[in-house]
Amino acid sequence: MDLDAITVMLRSFWTVWLMVLLTGILVYAMWPGNRRTFDHASQIPLKDDGQEF
């Protein structure tokens, strides 16, 4: 196995790995049980905690 064959194999591996990772992130983000957590997190920038910069 030469360096070119290893490079081609690793490119294929990374493509598949990133697609699986992206799919996992999307499933996690869209899962109905996580809605409350993300709704709460989306309100954090709008809270007035009294600190001025």
Q: Tens digits of per-residue pLDDT, 12-34?
A: 899 999 999 999 999 999 999 99
**pTM, two decimal places:** 0.64
- State the DSSP string of 32-51: GGGHHHHHHHHHGGG---S-
Residue 28 CB contacts under 8 Å (≥ 6 apart), including other chains:
34
Residue 29 CB contacts under 8 Å (≥ 6 apart), including other chains:
38
Q: Note the pLDDT of residue 52.
A: 64
- Residue whose entry in the numeric block shows the structure tokens 């598949």: 16
Residue 38 CB contacts under 8 Å (≥ 6 apart), including other chains:
29
Q: Are 29 and 38 in contact (CB under 8 A)?
A: yes
Confidence of residue 45 (pLDDT cuts 50, 70, 90): confident
